[in-house]
A and B are shown apart, each in its own frame.
Chain A
Amino acid sequence: MRPEHETIEELLAARALGGLETDEERELDRLLAEHGDCEACRRLAREAAETAAALALTLEPVAPPAGIIERILAAEPPTTAAEPADELTRRRAARSAQPPRRSSRPWWSVGAVAAALVALVVSLSVAMPGTQEIRSVNLAQRVVRFEGDAGVLAMAYAPGRPGAIFWGHGLPDLPAGQVLEIWMIDDDRPTSGGCAVPVDGRLALAVDASIGTTDQMAVTVEDASCPDAPTSEPVLVAPL
């Protein structure tokens, strides 16, 4: 093993236990990237994962409610959301598959708002003027309602799957040259989920970004360039 493998082993061990801070995660990622196709690194990662998982085996197993397996199997297979109109979406976010990382200094305070996270038990049918029909939301999907004073906005998504659908009403009429931009905040890092212009205060938007590890969602008013980073405070937020 190369000398730095001890450092990698140390960081991999801590990561497998969930004990790294964000900067240490980045350092480990950097070291692994430097090593490239490194069999020793893969072996160390496997060993750390297996050893950490063994800790879970010390617990007495507790069978989950029987309904869980049925809900999973009853979940609809992935559906292909209709492509949003070009003028509605400027960017798609490519989400990382990295494990969730802790947030130490949020872009803005999560605690300032409350979100209603509701697991749907019934199907919804929503149709928005000027957009495609959103046919249904199944049992495995969740609906999050944004909080704020800029109208009503909700998002439906299926945890662990790419894609999310937004719909809203009572949204602000924006001056020419301005758009609403949707942000996914992960580990304090906002990533654009797309830009849209409400029509008569209404909005329907499908994006193919994954919400899987996102800490919270937010909406800001931005100029029509749909910037890569927010330039204003959010008008709507939704902690996940």
Chain B
Amino acid sequence: MATRVTTGAPAVIRATDAHDAELIQRVRQRDDRAFRALFDRHAPTAHALALRIVRQRQLAEDIVQETFLALWRSPEAYDERRGSVRSWLLGTLHHRAVDVVRREEAQRRRHDRALAGLDLSAPDHAEEVVLELARDSERRAVRAALETLPPEQRAVLEWMYFDGLTQREIAERERLPLGTVKSRTLLGMRRLRAALAEDEG
């Protein structure tokens, strides 16, 4: 099946963009209520992503705090021409988290110690779990879009994004030609973007 190439941001991202843009304008004017609104909106996903990557609760919290502290102190660093507030925040956090993982050789630790003692589905305090009901449909849509990818493409995207592996490391670990990993990355990203856009339609 040919991948439909689309342009523009997926619908699931667009849904919150307008309000985020308004909020970040207010944050630039030091409006703490706007910052709280952005935090409430994006911190749970950011925290989940940090936990998924670093697998250490305190470290994940530090990364979330640093990411949002940077936003609070330098909201002008966000450039709307480069994408949505959410993709910027999550991208920033992702860079921090992956960097931490690589610096601390956490890949080895995670495989050895995995999630021992850390059950992400049952955090310490029930109140820490925020089920964003309004976002459930969005989450389901993204998961459905991801399911449309061939397993080998999906795996490559997840190994990179969630496990902090580079394409070369994946090629070595999976004993695949590097070119194969690269093509799976590109095709997987194109197909995911197309599936997300299709959901919009």
Interface residues of A (CB under 8 A from B): 9-10, 13-14, 16-21, 24, 42-43, 45-65, 68-69, 71-73, 75, 77-78, 97, 99-100, 102-103, 110, 119, 140, 158-161, 212-213, 215, 239
Report the Cα distance A139→B193, complex, angstroms. Answer: 41
Chain B residue with Cβ nearest A52: B161
Whether A52 contacts B87 in the complex (CB less than 8 A), given A17-B160, A69-B39, comes out as yes
A189 shortest CB reach to chain B, Å = 15
Q: Are A57 and B82 in contact (CB under 8 A)?
A: no
Q: List 7 A-B contacts (CB under 8 A).
A: A9-B186, A18-B94, A55-B192, A62-B123, A63-B128, A100-B99, A103-B103
Tell me if B142 is interfacial: C-beta within 8 Å of chain A.
yes
Within 8 A of A (CB), among B1-50: 7-10, 12-13, 32, 35-36, 39, 43-49
Interface string of B63-76 (1 = CB under 8 A from A): 01110111011100
Which residues of the other chain, A, contact B135 by a CB distance below 8 angstroms?
57, 61
Q: Are B166 and A51 in contact (CB under 8 A)?
A: no
Which residues of the other chain, A, contact B83 by a CB distance below 8 angstroms?
45-46, 49-50, 53
Report the Cα distance A65→B13, complex, angstroms. Answer: 25
B98 shortest CB reach to chain A, Å = 4
Tell me if B95 is interfacial: C-beta within 8 Å of chain A.
yes
Q: Are A16 and B99 in contact (CB under 8 A)?
A: no
Report the Cα distance A42→B82, complex, angstroms. Answer: 7
Q: Are A47 and B193 in contact (CB under 8 A)?
A: yes
Report the Cα distance A123→B166, complex, angstroms. Answer: 41
Which residues of the other chain, B, contact A16 by a CB distance below 8 angstroms?
91, 189
Chain B residue with Cβ nearest A57: B142
Q: Are B196 and A54 in contact (CB under 8 A)?
A: yes
B84 shortest CB reach to chain A, Å = 6
Whether A73 contacts B102 in the complex (CB less than 8 A), given A62-B48, A159-B66, comes out as no
Which residues of the other chain, B, contact A212 by a CB distance below 8 angstroms?
70
Q: Are A49 and B72 in contact (CB under 8 A)?
A: no
Report the Cα distance A77→B190, complex, angstroms. Answer: 42
Chain B residue with Cβ nearest A45: B82
Known: A102-B102, A158-B73. 4 other contacts (CB 8 A): A16-B91, A50-B13, A62-B123, A63-B127
Interface string of B173-201 (1 = CB under 8 A from A): 00000000010011001101100100000
Interface residues of B (CB under 8 A from A): 7-10, 12-13, 32, 35-36, 39, 43-49, 51-52, 61-62, 64-66, 68-70, 72-74, 77, 81-84, 86-88, 90-91, 94-96, 98-99, 102-103, 120-121, 123, 127-132, 135, 138-139, 142-143, 145-146, 157-158, 160-162, 164-168, 170, 182, 185-186, 189-190, 192-193, 196
Which residues of the other chain, B, contact A18 by a CB distance below 8 angstroms?
94-95, 98, 160-161, 164, 166
Which residues of the other chain, A, contact B49 by a CB distance below 8 angstroms?
56, 59
Q: Are A64 and B192 in contact (CB under 8 A)?
A: no
Q: Are A61 and B44 in contact (CB under 8 A)?
A: yes
Report the Cα distance A119→B68, complex, angstroms. Answer: 16
Q: Are A58 and B142 in contact (CB under 8 A)?
A: yes
Q: Are A72 and B69 in contact (CB under 8 A)?
A: yes
B32 shortest CB reach to chain A, Å = 6
Q: Are B90 and A53 in contact (CB under 8 A)?
A: yes
Whether A59 contacts B185 in the complex (CB less than 8 A), given A17-B157, A50-B83, A51-B192, comes out as no
Q: By CB atoms of chain B within 10 A, which of A43, A60, A140, A158 has the most?
A: A60
Report the Cα distance A58→B142, complex, angstroms. Answer: 6
Q: Are A99 and B95 in contact (CB under 8 A)?
A: yes
A111 shortest CB reach to chain B, Å = 9
Which residues of the other chain, A, contact B86 by a CB distance below 8 angstroms?
53
Which residues of the other chain, A, contact B130 by a CB distance below 8 angstroms?
61-63
B194 shortest CB reach to chain A, Å = 10
Report the Cα distance A77→B186, complex, angstroms. Answer: 42
The 8 residue pairs across chains A and B that have the minimum distance between CB atoms: A61-B44, A160-B70, A100-B99, A19-B160, A63-B130, A53-B87, A17-B160, A59-B48
